[in-house]
Structure 1
Amino acid sequence: MLKTKIDALSMIFALFFATGVLAFSADEKGVSGRTKDRAMSGSRVASDSTMEGQRVLRALIIGINRFQDGKIRELNYCRSDAEGLTALISDRNYIPFDSVAATTLLDHEATKERVRAALEDLGRRSSPQDTVIVYFSSHGIQQNQGEAFWVLHDSRVDMEAYNRRQLRVDPETALEQSEITKLLNGIRARRLLVLVDSCFSAATVISYPRGKNFKAPKVRNPFDNFKGEGRVVITASEGTQRAAELPSLGHGAFTYFLLKGLKGKADSNLDNVVELWEIWQYLDKKVTDAVHKEGGEQRPTISSVHLTHGFPLTTYPLGDVQKPASLPGKPDHTTAVPPDAEWITINKDVGMPLRVSPTEITNRQFLDFVMANPKWRKDRIPEYYHDGDYLRHWPGPKTYPKGLEDHPVTYVSWFAAKAFAEWAGARLPSESEWTTAASGGKGTVSQTGVSLTRLYPWGNKWNPALCNHRSGTDTGTASVHAFERGGSLWPGGTIYNLSGNAWEWCNDWVFEYLTPAGTKQIVMAPVGANKKPALNRLIKGGSFLADRLGCMIGSRVWADPRLCAEDGGFRVVRD
């Protein structure tokens, strides 16, 4: 059974950071088992003794299930969410700073006075070199002209408004957003991570007697002014959606997957470091799917991003996520890729010939790869390399669909395509190489787009008879040798189906973000332009489900590298 506690603006994930990346190392655990009385008497506070030059993590973690005012609805998992995060940052296996100084305020400890004092304390104690985490899990409310408040243990309902059937808390007893922002801006650390797991839908906060109807104020984003250089805002849900509490998990859905992701499940490139963008992609899929299975709807969103460097959040023990064994390098069968004589040679640059597979990789060819590499069977592939639909159309782990042996293999992730290519002594093409092959050498690629003198492999005029595209009688993929007249002609022969049939993975990475001014920016580059694999991977060429625009050479689509799509395949190249 699905329960909800919060609405669209329930999770704010703001990051402030220096241009460099975080370095993780430690000799001491930090928080665990250590207490010291401070101004917030009764709270759990870790030791704050640090030496100059140390990497210090400071944290304030707040979780409130229970409230003094009985008219404020109790929550189920805010406390356990806060305790889970406290345990995570206390473990040097995950966040191994030189020292950790953390304060945790739960239920009756989290009064307005203590929360304010704790934030002020962070401002006094933090230095620019520190990393600071502030986590708040409770109710949130918007009222009047859109002012937003954190609802604390000692917050009270505004009885005068309550009697008029209006949804309000007494502003003197809650922490108003402008004050929260001021306190956060007073923290000097260049790396500040703020997580707010709360709602701003007043109807989810105050319990009214049955039979009464109340008007809720219009909701706006209370963190609109909490954006800027080096800050990222992620919400747990869209629009008017509520963020779910899942009793089966014992956590709010967002925080449950946040914790799992930080412990290594989000590490898509398996480098034992979880970065911000990996967390975002993991949450986007996992939260949405989990809530949907419970009959609800919730999708996290990114509302502001401005990053020029990677931002590692955690590391994790090697035993937590099992990296697959390395793959054998040589194919056992000549059917894995075309014989040398069948490759089409193109000139990608002056004096730089490139051999391109004339067809997309087929089901038969991919079966050879799977048989030689059992770890890539559909019943054995690690979950980190796919989205759950890997080779979905194959009736068995060693069997492709009858009659489709020469059709393009689909339902393959970028990871699987890359593994096949490396095993076969080849690689995936860059967008520039793919465009050269498709345009007959008459196209160029730049950061701002694709410049072409040919719109399709056969010319500039759309001809639906020359490719397998979306129509009223879609029948799925076609043979990789079909639509020869629509191929790209080279002196050595025809390169088939560069428009339509199946989308083709490229090696280029893509990420998309909003500047602080709200302008969308898209960054694309070959892998060589960045030392780390990135978020999304480029897909080119259209498919049997794509329209005319999707089948254009210049069309650009990108996706999570784990995506296994019904109409997604690949081809390979060799230098």
Structure 2
Amino acid sequence: MAARFRPVSRGVAMIAAAALVALAAGCDRPPQPKPDAIASSCTQGIIGQRIDIPAGITELGAGAIYPEEAPAKKAHVQAFSIDATEVTNRQFRSFVEATGYRTRAERGLVEEEFADLPDALRVPGSSVFIAPKAGERSDITRWWQFVPGANWRHPEGPRSDISGKDDFPVVHIGWEDAKAYADWAGRRLPTEDEWEYAARGGRDGATYEWGEEKPEAGTPRANTWQGVFPYVNEAKDGFKGLAPVACYAANGFGLYDMTGNVWEWTESAYTQPRDAAPVADGPESPSPVVTFKVAKGGSFLCAENYCARYRPAARHPQDAVLGTSHMGFRTVGAPLRPTGDASDG
């Protein structure tokens, strides 16, 4: 695989102009209207809780399917605390109201840093997945569209909003936006090792966070895609798009939505194999460089026939500058208790 770092302008140009082809390695599906019966909250007071994860030795990369997930390795992870849920619209709004922060999608791209992008792709906006209609050719270059005015407040574009969705995960968040929130909260983003260890919930070596049964088997365990992607989402899990956080059972550590719903940012730079050192992609270039960061967890767009990255070992390279309609995050920090015992904070 080529470099892990690259000029921002070239990275964004390739993804935006080609409808985010890089996300084809992930799993994608457009925001869809929810059935009327679906609740706007499932949380029962869980939002804001933080869970202590004990120190331990775990096998990362276990159950690998794709080459970038290998090799499996034993790793010692220090104790830490992690948010029980993905950061929600309500939580992110509190940060914005306290600081006046504006996300990259709200600000747009600076011409000096992104001179090779057309003006239409430097305006404030973000990337939204657009489902192909019946009979249309299934083509990743048509699925993703840069939508001017799309951002965390307007996830499908300026005519959409998040009214009634306070407990949904915030989306259209770039890595720098997630880090800014974490800094404000006195926290940080998890490393890939921390995230995967927490997602396994104590089930070391299992393919899924709950064991070996596929997500489609039995009672829904996560917000993923059921049916033939990208044409038919049967919504057997109750949702055709994003779900409020904590609508499904917690894993063994008491964490919600570590599988599906939204991809989650990590602190770690993306490399393949995972232990390789990041390298520059043209140090002679005058443009700033941005790492590909590791995204984990899959999203509500992941299907058995396309992506299947709803596993702890799965990993995806995401431009740090780029937020989308299926990217979110959660934060980590020091253990809440000196012993580092797992608890529900």
- Shorter-chain-normalised TM-score: which range? 0.5 to 0.7
The match for 1:553 is 312
Amino acid across the alignment from 1:356 = I
Amino acid across the alignment from 2:87 = I
Q: Would you say the 8 A contact 1:468–1:501 is kept in 2?
A: yes
Q: Does 2:245 match 1:468?
A: no
1:527/1:488 Cα in 2 relative to 1: closer, same or farther (>3 Å)? farther
Which of 346, 353, 365 aligns to 2:53? It is 346
Give 1:480 shift.
0.8
Amino acid across the alignment from 1:417 = A
SS of aligned partner of 1:466: coil
Amino acid across the alignment from 2:50 = W
Q: Does 2:251 match 1:488?
A: yes
Give 1:547 shift.
1.8
Q: Distance in 2 between matches of 1:462 and 1:401?
A: 31
The match for 1:156 is none
Q: Deviations over 1:95-143 (max 9, x none)?
A: xxxxxxxxxxxxxxxxxxxxxxxxxxxxxxxxxxxxxxxxxxxxxxxxx
Q: Would you say the 8 A contact 1:374–1:380 is kept in 2?
A: no
SS of aligned partner of 2:54: strand
TM-score by length of 1: 0.35
The match for 1:515 is none
Which of 173, 192, 199 aligns to 1:431? It is 192
Q: Would you say the 8 A contact 1:458–1:488 is kept in 2?
A: yes
Q: Deviations over 1:486-539 (max 9, x none)?
A: x2122xxx100111111111111125xxxxxxxxxx254599999x98521111
SS of aligned partner of 2:293: strand
Q: Does 2:328 match 1:569?
A: yes
SS of aligned partner of 1:383: coil
Q: Would you say the 8 A contact 1:540–1:556 is kept in 2?
A: yes
Show the 5 A alignment for 1:247-396.
277-285=7-15, 288=17, 338=48, 342-349=49-56, 352-376=78-102, 381=107, 383=109, 388-389=125-126, 390-391=151-152, 393=154
1:283/1:462 Cα in 2 relative to 1: closer, same or farther (>3 Å)? closer
Q: Would you say the 8 A contact 1:509–1:526 is kept in 2?
A: no
The match for 2:209 is 457
Structure 2: gaps (5+ residues):
22-44, 57-75, 114-121, 127-150, 227-233, 281-287, 335-345
The match for 2:269 is 509
Amino acid across the alignment from 1:373 = T
Q: Would you say the 8 A contact 2:6–2:290 is kept in 1?
A: no
1:529/1:430 Cα in 2 relative to 1: closer, same or farther (>3 Å)? farther
Give 1:356 shift.
0.8
Q: Deviations over 1:79-105 (max 9, x none)?
A: xxxxxxxxxxxxxxxxxxxxxxxxxxx
SS of aligned partner of 1:488: coil
Amino acid across the alignment from 1:489 = G
Q: Would you say the 8 A contact 1:348–1:433 is kept in 2?
A: no
Q: Distance in 1 between matches of 2:324 and 2:274?
A: 22
Show the 5 A alignment for 1:395-406.
401-406=162-167
Amino acid across the alignment from 1:499 = T
Q: Distance in 2 between matches of 1:562 and 1:529?
A: 18
Q: Distance in 1 between matches of 2:322 and 2:51?
A: 28
Q: Would you say the 8 A contact 1:508–1:526 is kept in 2?
A: no
Q: Distance in 2 between matches of 1:455 and 1:276?
A: 32
Give 1:347 shift.
2.0
Q: Distance in 2 between matches of 1:558 and 1:356?
A: 22
Q: Does 2:259 match 1:499?
A: yes
Give 1:478 shift.
1.2
Q: Which has the higher contact order (CA 8 A, sep 6+)?
A: 2
Q: Would you say the 8 A contact 1:509–1:524 is kept in 2?
A: no
Q: Deviations over 1:240-293 (max 9, x none)?
A: xxxxxxxxxxxxxxxxxxxxxxxxxxxxxxxxxxx854453144247x37xx9x
Q: Would you say the 8 A contact 2:106–2:125 is kept in 1?
A: no
Amino acid across the alignment from 2:79 = P
Q: Would you say the 8 A contact 1:395–1:401 is kept in 2?
A: no
Q: Distance in 2 between matches of 1:476 and 1:285?
A: 22
Q: Which has the higher helix share?
A: 1
Q: Distance in 1 between matches of 2:326 and 2:77?
A: 35
Indicate the percent of aligned positions where both proteins have the same amino acid.
Answer: 28
Q: Distance in 2 between matches of 1:380 and 1:500?
A: 26
Which of 543, 547, 558 aligns to 2:299? It is 543
1:279/1:379 Cα in 2 relative to 1: closer, same or farther (>3 Å)? closer
Q: Distance in 2 between matches of 1:499 and 1:437?
A: 11
Q: Would you say the 8 A contact 1:508–1:525 is kept in 2?
A: no
Q: Distance in 1 between matches of 2:77 and 2:96?
A: 36
Q: Deviations over 1:451-487 (max 9, x none)?
A: xx11112111113311110122352111212102xx2
Q: Would you say the 8 A contact 1:363–1:400 is kept in 2?
A: no
The number of aligned residues is 229
Q: Which has the higher strand share?
A: 1
Which of 400, 410, 416 aligns to 2:177? It is 416
Which of 234, 237, 244 aligns to 1:479? It is 244
Show the 5 A alignment for 1:136-147.
none
1:395/1:459 Cα in 2 relative to 1: closer, same or farther (>3 Å)? closer
Amino acid across the alignment from 1:537 = K
1:468/1:353 Cα in 2 relative to 1: closer, same or farther (>3 Å)? same
Q: Would you say the 8 A contact 1:438–1:498 is kept in 2?
A: yes
Give 1:379 shift.
7.9
Q: Which of structures 1 and 2 has the bigger CA Rg?
A: 1
* RMSD of aligned Cα (Å): 3.7
1:478/1:279 Cα in 2 relative to 1: closer, same or farther (>3 Å)? closer
Q: Deviations over 1:342-372 (max 9, x none)?
A: 3111124479321010000000001111112
1:467/1:526 Cα in 2 relative to 1: closer, same or farther (>3 Å)? farther
Q: Distance in 2 between matches of 1:351 and 1:437?
A: 10
1:547/1:395 Cα in 2 relative to 1: closer, same or farther (>3 Å)? closer
